[in-house]
């Protein structure tokens, strides 16, 4: 397949490029586009054949539901059975933004979007290119992250090209993404609002509007037998080529343990990469040390995390020893991604 790559810097002066992408969507083709979280692999969310192409391009299991992206709140009405007062308040506060909500689906939604479930995940991205593409397409766009299934999500167009060039019809280059982690997924269909996937909108953020919100157990405990209601619940994601071990606890204990483990593995002839932070990177003597951001500003860690994992892939390390972060605010989302990337290989020190 020939993949067309276009660079969009200004949606007004380069409107025709976005219009071309919208035309592709209407024709049932695949278009990669930027959002504020990661790059998305988009298709017409009401066209079952087009959506099937997403699964084939990514190598994604079809029991893993997709998220529908809309460009306005009014577009949600035809896609769901009802919109609660809570949902309306959350939309007003956090849309456009990195918050996905689960609703009871309407008959307009193809089964392939929801993996046959009676719920559908919807969000409105906070990116002008994404919003204009959806608006011009005239349909909700189904879009998981634009990467090969299981690999780190793409936060730059180069990541997309590495994974999907020749597998999609068009890539819209809108520069680096902002948040760096996928959206928070919130299930509003039960008695208790439940976070199924942590992201840029944190538990603390949501508690201002829905104080009784809770975390789903699968965020902190792996269960391969669950039926996923949201992307990221069941399968290993964000995985580097190398094995990964994540260490949590007091910072000094983390650093000392990683140094000991690195020395042990190096003696075994292993190439070791260390995922550190700005505050600790100079405490390691190892050759391959990448700082993922600052512990004082965890948003920088979220922004850089997937890119750092891909950098270790390029350095061909055998194993990555990663520092963990505190389980608060966006640190919960970071640790959720590290848990998935390491296959749950987390050690408390």
Task: Please check the confidence at residue 129 and state whether its pLDDT lies above 90.
Answer: yes
Query: For residue 217, is pLDDT > 80?
Result: no
Q: Are 233 and 325 in contact (CB under 8 A)?
A: no
Q: Sheet of 40-44: strands edge to edge? A: 4-7, 170-173, 31-33, 40-44, 141-142, 67-69, 119-123, 99-104, 184-187, 194-197, 214-215
Residues 32 and 167 in one domain: yes
3 vs 287, higher pLDDT: 3
- Indicate whether 334 pLDDT > 90: yes
* H or E element at residue 156: none
Distance CA 221, CA 217 (A): 6
End position of a domain, from candidates 156, 182, 208 = 182
Q: Domain range holding 76? A: 4-182
The confidence score (pLDDT) of residue 326 equals 95
**73 contacts 63 by C-beta, under 8 angstroms:** no
Bridge partners (DSSP) listed for residue 243: 319
Which one of 182, 204, 225 terminates a domain? 182
Per-residue pLDDT at 61: 87
pLDDT tens string 181-193: 999 999 999 999 9
Do residue 24 and residue 155 come from a single domain? yes
Kindly tell me if the per-residue pLDDT of 225 is higher than 60.
Answer: no
* 288 shares a domain with 149: no
Q: Domain end: 182, 205, 222, which one?
A: 182
Distance of CA 149 to the CA centre of its chain: 12
Average pLDDT, the chain: 93
- pLDDT of 237 above 80: no
d(CA 33, CA 174): 7
Q: Encoding tokens for residue 114?
A: 């929801």
Q: Could you tell me the maximum CA-CA distance found in the chain, to the nearest angstrom? A: 61
Task: Please give the tally of structural domains in the chain.
Answer: 2
CA distance 314 to 298: 24
| pLDDT at residue 239, rounded to an integer | 80
Is residue 154 classed exposed, middle or buried when 0-12, 13-18 and 19+ CB atoms within 10 A define those classes? buried
pLDDT per position as a tens digit, 31-90: 999 999 999 999 999 999 999 999 999 999 888 899 999 999 999 999 999 999 999 999
DSSP letters along 195-220, please?
EEE--SS-HHHHHTT-TT-EE-GGGT
Closest CA to 247 of 277, 223, 268: 277
293-324 pLDDT, tens digit each: 999 999 999 999 999 999 999 999 999 999 99
Looking at the fold, whether 161 and 15 belong to one and the same domain comes out as yes
> What was the pLDDT predicted at 223?
53
In this structure, the answer to whether residues 153 and 293 fall within a common structural domain is no
224 pLDDT more than 60? no
Residue 341: its pLDDT value, please? 92
334 lies in some domain: yes
For residue 278, give every residue at least 6 positions away whose Cβ sits within 8 Å of its Cβ, in sequence order, or none.
291, 293, 294, 295, 300
Alpha-carbon span 51 to 41, nearest angstrom:
10
pLDDT band at 229 (very low <50, low <70, confident <90, very high): low
Amino acid 168: pLDDT: 98
- Shared domain for 290 and 159, answered yes or no, is no
Residues 250 and 171 in one domain: no
Residue 60 located in a structural domain: yes
pLDDT at residue 16, as a whole number: 95
CATH number at residue 331: 3.40.50.11030
| Residue 213 within a domain | no
Give the whole-angstrom CA distance, residue 147 versus residue 170. Answer: 14
DSSP state letter for 5: E
- Residue 218 within a domain: no
3-state helix, strand, coil in the chain (%, to 5): 35, 20, 45
In a domain, 232, yes or no: no
Kindly report the CATH number assigned to the domain that includes residue 67.
Answer: 3.90.870.10
- pLDDT at position 67: 97
- Per residue in 155-167, pLDDT tens? 999 999 999 999 9
What pTM was estimated for this model as a whole?
0.92
**Bridge partners (DSSP) listed for residue 80:** 105
- Identify the pLDDT of residue 62: 87
**pLDDT surpasses 60 at 233:** no
For residue 138, is it within any domain?
yes
Least confident of 126-130, 218-222, 288-292: 218-222
């Amino acid at each position: 397949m020939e993949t067309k790559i276009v660079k969009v810097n200004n949606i007004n002066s380069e409107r025709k490029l976005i219009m071309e992408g919208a035309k592709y969507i209407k024709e049932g083709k695949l278009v990669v586009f930027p959002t504020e979280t990661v790059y998305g692999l988009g298709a017409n969310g009401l066209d079952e054949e087009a959506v099937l192409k997403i699964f084939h391009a990514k190598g994604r299991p079809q029991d893993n539901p997709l998220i529908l992206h809309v460009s306005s709140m009014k577009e949600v009405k035809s896609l769901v059975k009802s919109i609660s007062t809570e949902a309306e308040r959350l939309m007003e506060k956090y849309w456009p933004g990195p918050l996905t909500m689960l609703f009871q689906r309407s008959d307009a939604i193809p089964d392939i979007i929801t993996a046959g479930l009676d719920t559908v995940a919807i969000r409105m991205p906070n990116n002008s290119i994404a919003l204009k593409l959806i608006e011009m397409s005239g349909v909700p766009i189904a879009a998981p992250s634009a990467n090969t299934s299981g690999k780190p999500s793409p936060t730059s167009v180069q990541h997309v090209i590495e994974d999907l060039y020749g597998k999609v019809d068009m890539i819209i280059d809108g520069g680096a993404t902002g948040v760096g982690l996928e959206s928070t997924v919130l299930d509003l269909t039960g008695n208790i609002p439940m976070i199924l996937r942590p992201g840029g909108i944190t538990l603390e953020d949501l508690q201002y509007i829905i104080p009784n919100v809770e975390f789903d157990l699968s965020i902190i405990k792996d269960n391969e037998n669950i039926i996923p209601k949201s992307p990221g619940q069941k399968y290993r994601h964000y995985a580097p080529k190398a094995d990964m071990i994540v260490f949590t606890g007091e910072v000094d204990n983390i650093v000392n343990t990683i140094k000991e483990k690195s020395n042990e593995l190096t003696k075994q002839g292993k190439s070791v990469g260390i995922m550190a932070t700005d505050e600790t990177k100079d405490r390691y003597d190892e050759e391959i040390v990448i700082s993922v951001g600052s512990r004082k500003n965890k948003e920088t860690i979220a922004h850089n995390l997937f890119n750092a994992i891909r950098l270790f892939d390029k350095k061909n390390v055998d194993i990555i020893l990663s520092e963990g972060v505190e389980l608060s605010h966006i640190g919960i989302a970071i640790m959720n991604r590290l848990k998935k990337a390491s296959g749950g290989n987390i050690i408390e020190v």
